[in-house]
């Protein structure tokens, strides 16, 4: 079961939507709230749904954690909601999942937006994060501040620690727990890094959006992208990193809206 939020347009009682619904998928360790900065303005033009991926946020945990399982969960959610065809946007891991959905059930996707990720295999880049989070003793933890202090040994960036510790929740009993399926994601991490399915093609319009200062999308990935997504274009948001949707939400929302503007 996937937890989701539908964003309402301002003065929604006056809105008559003419565009397909847009479904949005966040990245690793995130939740649907991460994309709120672009979801709200986009909801003025179309129904917008933001999902918690499996093993994240308030969505159910799974025994197996890989791209295939996550893509099936999203595809099943579309059926449950009666959404016969949608536009799909994903950032980072959410982009990997979005690509897998488009490749496996292309008839359900109108247009695809992939934010700062490619369908290629990536090397491990979160080992320190997993080590830091998994070494926090929840049985003795007294405060979020204490967790932040401990995590400093593994993650130096304050903003990244703040982002990660949004997964730490206070229980009714007074103790702490991880909302994210930390053990499951760690066990399946190598599978999440793998390339997207080969010998499949999504023929619909696809837009890759790159953070100008990020190295997640590289020119050397061009052939791998076009083999799976032949109708592809690229937009670069200058002076942004991997979290471009948080750094420049207005610009990213405008890019998304322009790409989807003529979607019927």
The residue annotated as part of the active site, out of 59, 92, 214, 263, is 92
Catalytic annotation on 92? Answer: yes
* 127-162 pLDDT tens trace: 999 999 999 999 999 999 999 999 999 999 999 999
d(C-alpha 152, C-alpha 163), whole Å = 13
Contacts of 181 (CB under 8 A, 6+ apart): 55, 56, 61, 62, 65
Domains of the chain: residue spans and CATH: 4-123+193-260 (3.40.50.1820), 127-180 (no CATH)
pTM of the entire structure? 0.94
Identify which has the larger pLDDT, 12 or 113: 113
Catalytic annotation on 245? Answer: no
Residue 31 is given by DSSP the state: -
Which of the four pLDDT bands, split at 50, 70 and 90, describes residue 264? Answer: very low
Residue 47 near residue 6 (C-beta atoms within 8 A): yes
* 195-236 pLDDT tens trace: 999 999 999 999 999 999 999 999 999 999 999 999 999 999
Query: Angle CA(116)–CA(7)–CA(64) in degrees, nearest 5?
Result: 55
Which of the four pLDDT bands, split at 50, 70 and 90, describes residue 18? Answer: low
d(C-alpha 189, C-alpha 131), whole Å = 13
The residue annotated as part of the active site, out of 19, 26, 91, 242, is 242
d(C-alpha 122, C-alpha 117), whole Å = 10
Burial (CB < 10 A; 0-12, 13-18, 19+), residue 68, is: middle
Residue 124 is given by DSSP the state: -
Residue 49 near residue 5 (C-beta atoms within 8 A): yes
d(C-alpha 54, C-alpha 31), whole Å = 10
């Amino acid at each position: 079961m996937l937890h989701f939020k539908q964003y309402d347009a301002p003065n929604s009682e006056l809105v008559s939507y003419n565009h397909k619904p847009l479904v949005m998928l966040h990245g690793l360790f995130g939740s649907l709230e991460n994309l709120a900065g672009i979801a709200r303005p986009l909801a003025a033009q179309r129904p917008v749904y933001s999902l918690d991926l499996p093993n994240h946020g308030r969505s159910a945990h799974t025994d197996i954690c890989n791209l295939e399982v996550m893509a099936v969960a999203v595809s099943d959610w579309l059926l449950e909601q009666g959404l016969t065809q949608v536009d799909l946007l994903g950032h980072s891991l959410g982009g990997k999942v979005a690509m897998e959905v488009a490749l496996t059930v292309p008839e359900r996707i109108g247009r695809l937006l992939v934010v700062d990720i490619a369908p290629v295999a990536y090397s491990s880049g979160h080992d320190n994060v997993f080590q830091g989070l998994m070494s926090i003793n929840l049985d003795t933890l007294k405060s979020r501040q204490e967790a932040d202090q401990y995590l400093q040994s593994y993650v130096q960036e304050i903003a990244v620690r703040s982002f990660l510790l949004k997964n730490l929740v206070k229980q009714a009993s007074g103790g702490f727990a991880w909302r994210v399926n930390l053990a499951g994601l760690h066990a399946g991490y190598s599978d999440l890094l793998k390339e997207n399915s080969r010998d499949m093609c999504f023929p619909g319009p696809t837009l890759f959006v790159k953070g100008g200062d990020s190295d997640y999308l590289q020119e050397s990935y061009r052939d791998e992208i076009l083999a799976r997504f032949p109708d592809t274009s690229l937009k670069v948001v200058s002076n942004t990193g991997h979290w471009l949707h948080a750094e420049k939400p207005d610009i990213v929302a405008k890019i998304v809206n322009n790409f989807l503007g003529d979607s019927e």
